[in-house]
Structure 1
Amino acid sequence: MPLQVSDYSWQQTKTAVFLSLPLKGVCVRDTDVFCTENYLKVNFPPFLFEAFLYAPIDDENSKAKVGNDTIVFTLYKKEAAMWETLSVTGVDKEMMQRIRERSVLQAQERAKEATEAKAAAKRKDQKYALSVMMKIEEEERKKIEDMKENERIKATKELEAWKEYQRKAEEQKKIQREEKLCQKEKQIKEERKKLKSKSLTGNSAPRNLATKGRNSENIFTEKLKEDSIPAPRSVGSIKINFTPRVFPTALRESQVAEEEEWLHKQAEARRAMNTHIPELCDLKEEEKNPEWLKDKGNKLFATENYLAAINAYNLAIRLNNKIPLLYLNRAACHLKLKNLHKTIEDSSKAYRIMKRHLRLIHPTELYKLMLRRFGM
């Protein structure tokens, strides 16, 4: 039963009410203060104080100070007037209960409005932050595009400069060739003049000189042709030999007889398996291949469809129960489904098969292989 506090003191002005409430041992942590326009409640077990205020107050701006075994309230009035009493008199229990309920509803509505206002402010802040981030990203994107454009312009200028340099070099070479041709023509003309001046008598001498001039002219034209026309390319042929695909290995590494025997045994084993498993008769040809089923199980495992992957591995194991990787893959599926006993069983089967057929893998290496397979 709470103790009602009645030995309080209060003073007032036209705009405020000052209430002093003595509570022994009062502290902020254990004190519950509830205040609305017309109702004030203080709960500090085992003490309880209630006041149905004479007139409405501004509960948002009102204050309370806790300390020195006392709570001091500063209640600001909504209307400037002097109160006759702190709490209204002549209020029955039903009226008190209605005032309490109305005060609680007002407090709840105010808390709801505050929550909505806080959420709206938060959304506004998020929207502003998002707009700022989008603006920053847009600026960064524009900056990157400008850098790319500048690099493209720079590369284009460098390419144009290189083309201009090549064009000038070609023109320089062409000019040099023309100058050489002019010099050679001048030399031929000078030689002809000298030969004409030396020819004084006889027809044989002029003929010899003329033939000599023609020979020199032919030599000159041949040299010009040699300088201007490049030499023809050398003709060659490349012979390509393809290795016949008798088996997946290269011909230099394959042993045809052993491989044909192995293929024959595989075909017989598949036929025998198909006769022992009646439901395989309705499957397609590729669905009877354990490797194809293993790849299908791996794809289903990647899409997290572990039960379908287990079904694919089960059928592959029924077709060929000597492939340890099928047991390891099925163990990985069981591990994802938390079937730990089946995981251990499949891992042990894979270990026994690899130990029996390979005998080259150390148990430590096999353990590491299993860990990598399970993604641990």
Structure 2
Amino acid sequence: MPLQVSNYSWQQTKTAVFLSLPLRGVCVRDADVFCTENYLKVNFPPFLFEAFLYAPIDDESSKAKIGNDTIDFTLYKKEAVMWETLSVSGVDKEMMQRIRENSILQAQEKAKEATEAKAIAKREDQKYTLNVMMKIEEEERKKIEDMKENERRKATKELEAWKECQRKAEERKRIQKEKKLHQQEKQTEEERKKLKHKNLTKNSASRNLATKGRNSENIFFAKLKEDCIPAPRSVGNIKINFTPRVFPTALRESKVAEEEEWLHKQAEARRAMNTDIPEFCDLKEDEKNPEWLKEKGNKLFATEDYLAAINAYNLAIRLNNKIPLLYLNRAACHLKLKNLHKAIEDSSKAYRIMKLHLRLIQLTKLCKTMLRRFGM
């Protein structure tokens, strides 16, 4: 049962009430002070103090000081009037209970409003902080973009300057080369003139010697020289017919089907190598092999890199377009990429090639059967 405290002292002005409540051994840690507009309660076990105030007060601006075995209250009035008493007189238990409940509800509502206000303030602070951070990040990003743009412009200027230097160097080399070539042509022309002059001098001397020799030459030797010169050949045409066959054997001794199959294989091998095509000259030996490219495309397909696999199959098909499995694998890649028309087109090509191979095999078997039948 708590002990009701009744020995307290209070003073007032028109705007404030000063209440002094003596409590032996009171401290901030153990004292429970509850104050609303019309109700004041202090709980310090085993002591209890309650006051149903005469008029409303401003509980937010009111103060309490705990220490020296007393609690000193400074309660600010809402209306500047003098109170007759501190507590309302003639209050029964029901009214007291109703005042307590209303005070608790009022305190809860204020606490709820304070919590909501605090949460709103916190959200506003977070929003403000986020905006500030976004502005800082935007400034940093803009700064980085400006630095990149400056570096790009600097690199572009340096590249243009280097290209200009290279162009000037190439121009100087070309001019020097042209000068050197002109000098060589000039020297060659001078040497040609000297050689021509020398030949003319030599020919003149030879003609002079020949004239002297002819004057002293014997008529017999001249006649003998004329008899030793053979007569010119008669005019005629020689016609030569060449066989268009690739093989040196005669047509009656050859096997046309086997020869055509051999020629077809040679053409496929030359097409597979493609060493004369400029765009394949830079490829390695492995990259010119359709089988190697097919295996590479299969590995890329397994890693779900379908575009790279299609490129590998494209190169393999350009090297050898008679392998149906290349078209089937490329159709699978197009199917994964939802390119249905291309998948249908590649599947149709593979079907036609396989059908042609089957016909060639059947025709080869038929030819071999006929050859065995006729004993050839």
Matches within 5 A, 1:61-76: 61-76=61-76
Q: What percentage of aligned pairs have identical amino acids? A: 83
Q: Distance in 1 between matches of 2:5 and 2:206?
A: 155
User: RMSD over aligned Cα, in angstroms?
Assistant: 3.1
1:36 paired residue number: 36
Q: Distance in 1 between matches of 2:19 and 2:186?
A: 128
Q: Given the superposition, is the C-alpha separation of residues 78 and 205 from structure 1 closer, same or farther in structure 2, using an over 3 Å criterion?
A: farther
Q: Do residues 155 (structure 1) and 152 (structure 2) align?
A: no
2:121 paired residue number: 121
Number of matched residues?
A: 216
Q: Distance in 2 between matches of 1:116 and 1:239?
A: 77
Q: Do residues 174 (structure 1) and 185 (structure 2) align?
A: no
Q: Given the superposition, is the C-alpha separation of residues 194 and 18 from structure 1 closer, same or farther in structure 2, using an over 3 Å criterion?
A: same
Q: Distance in 1 between matches of 2:14 and 2:194?
A: 139
Q: Distance in 2 between matches of 1:85 and 1:137?
A: 64
Q: Given the superposition, is the C-alpha separation of residues 239 and 62 from structure 1 closer, same or farther in structure 2, using an over 3 Å criterion?
A: closer
State the 1:191 CA deviation: 4.7
- For structure 2, the 5+ residue unaligned runs are 208-280, 293-376
Q: Given the superposition, is the C-alpha separation of residues 239 and 15 from structure 1 closer, same or farther in structure 2, using an over 3 Å criterion?
A: closer
Q: TM-score, normalised by structure 1?
A: 0.52
Give the 3-state SS of the residue equivalent to 1:60 in structure 2. Answer: coil
1:98-123, Cα deviation, whole Å (9 max, x unpaired) = 11111111100000000000000110
Give the aligned residue type for 2:50: E
1:186 paired residue number: 186
State the 1:152 CA deviation: 2.2
Give the 3-state SS of the residue equivalent to 1:71 in structure 2. Answer: strand
Give the 3-state SS of the residue equivalent to 1:34 in structure 2. Answer: strand
State the 1:197 CA deviation: 8.0
1:98 paired residue number: 98
Q: Distance in 2 between matches of 1:27 and 1:202?
A: 143
2:81 paired residue number: 81
Give the aligned residue type for 1:127: K
State the 1:158 CA deviation: 2.6
Give the 3-state SS of the residue equivalent to 2:41 in structure 1. Answer: strand
State the 1:22 CA deviation: 0.8
Q: Given the superposition, is the C-alpha separation of residues 193 and 9 from structure 1 closer, same or farther in structure 2, using an over 3 Å criterion?
A: same
Q: Distance in 2 between matches of 1:192 and 1:31?
A: 129
Q: Given the superposition, is the C-alpha separation of residues 17 and 202 from structure 1 closer, same or farther in structure 2, using an over 3 Å criterion?
A: closer
State the 1:179 CA deviation: 0.8
State the 1:147 CA deviation: 2.3
CA contact (8 A) 1:38 1:53 kept: yes
Give the 3-state SS of the residue equivalent to 2:125 in structure 1. Answer: helix
State the 1:36 CA deviation: 0.6
Give the aligned residue type for 2:158: E
The higher radius of gyration belongs to: 2
Give the aligned residue type for 2:61: N
Give the 3-state SS of the residue equivalent to 2:98 in structure 1. Answer: helix
Q: TM-score, normalised by structure 2?
A: 0.52
Give the aligned residue type for 2:117: A
